[in-house]
């Protein structure tokens, strides 16, 4: 009798499980795995690593240059233009649009097409595993004059808490995937997933010849607030020297794509837009 009851209970459990849809799996590195593609969110889950900035610490453009003129001397970025050692502005009057977490075959081509329509160059912060999966898109990005930024191999928001050797291996693996697609492309920028900067990750990036890159305008498009909200946030917060954070991968990014045309229609009338340079001294 006991065996029969146990068998019946086991069958009932399996039947119940079969009626519940599979749930995405959340990983400590900031990735939610689904049946279709990696889903990234460019903010840390839970507590930030020690030393990582919060939204309230994001610095805006410099108000007083190091030479007292109100402008930065050429080639220099003031400390007030940094977050935990990472650049938050272009250091000039120009505005830079940056797109994280790609490339993605659904959204990256749309972003490239709209940028081409407005003759605007941008910077793409690419995830190593996506660069490896879509080398053709890495080639398309560079062929159209955009610049590249290392965004870690697997969008690991806790990467800065690991050993220097582990950080170095991650960043080098990502650079290798990018260079497998575009051997000659400069990779001189690094953006830590979630902006979770720590001294070790900043130090390793610099040792590898990459300048840590944060941002000054964040419309939180990764939260999928809708195109109109993304447009409103960017247009009201942008200023001379802003680095704007957006996403072309890591989830449903159609809202970002839909926001891009009205954003560019406005910004191209007010600012000169640039891809971040390949010599960020």
Determine which one of 42, 100, 104, 156 is catalytic: 100
Q: Is 247 a catalytic residue?
A: yes
- 47 catalytic, yes or no? no
pLDDT at 114: 98
Q: Are 213 and 58 in contact (CB under 8 A)?
A: no
pLDDT at 82: 61
Q: What pLDDT, on the 0 to 100 scale, is given for residue 84?
A: 79
Q: What are phi and psi of 98, to 5 degrees?
A: -125, 145
Catalytic residue (choose from 151, 154, 155, 247): 247
Predicted structure pTM score: 0.77
121-143 as b/e: b if 16+ CB within 10 A: bbbbbbbbbbbbbbbebbebbbe
pLDDT value of position 203: 96
Stretches in the chain below the pLDDT threshold 50:
1-35, 42-77
Looking at residue 11, its pLDDT comes to: 46
Structural domains present in the chain: 80-274 (3.20.20.370)
Let me know the angle formed at the C-alpha of 229 by 226 and 56, rounded to the nearest 5 degrees: 120
């Amino acid at each position: 009798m006991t065996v029969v009851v146990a068998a019946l209970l086991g069958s009932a459990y399996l039947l119940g499980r079969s009626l519940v849809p599979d749930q995405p799996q959340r990983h400590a590195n900031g990735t939610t795995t689904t049946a279709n593609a990696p889903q990234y969110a460019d903010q840390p889950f839970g507590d930030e690593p020690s030393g990582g900035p919060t939204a309230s610490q994001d610095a805006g453009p410099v108000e007083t240059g190091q030479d007292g003129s109100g402008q930065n001397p050429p080639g220099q970025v003031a400390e007030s233009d940094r977050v935990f050692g990472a650049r938050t502005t272009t250091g000039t009057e120009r505005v830079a649009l940056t797109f994280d977490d790609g490339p993605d075959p659904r959204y990256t081509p749309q972003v490239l097409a709209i940028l081409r329509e407005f003759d605007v160059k941008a910077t793409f912060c690419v995830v190593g595993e996506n660069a490896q999966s879509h080398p053709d898109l890495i080639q398309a990005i560079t062929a159209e004059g955009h610049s590249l930024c290392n965004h870690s191999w697997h969008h690991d928001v806790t990467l800065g808490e690991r050993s220097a050797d582990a950080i170095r291996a991650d960043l080098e693996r990502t650079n290798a995937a990018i260079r497998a697609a575009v051997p000659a492309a400069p990779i001189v920028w690094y953006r830590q997933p979630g902006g979770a900067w720590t001294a070790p990750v900043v130090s390793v990036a610099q040792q590898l010849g990459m300048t840590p890159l944060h941002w000054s305008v964040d419309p939180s498009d990764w939260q999928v607030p809708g195109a109109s909200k993304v447009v409103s946030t960017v247009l009201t917060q942008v200023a001379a020297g802003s680095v704007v954070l957006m996403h072309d991968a890591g989830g449903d990014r159609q809202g970002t794509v839909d926001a891009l045309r009205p954003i560019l229609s406005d910004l191209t009338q007010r600012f000169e837009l640039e891809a971040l340079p390949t010599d960020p001294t």
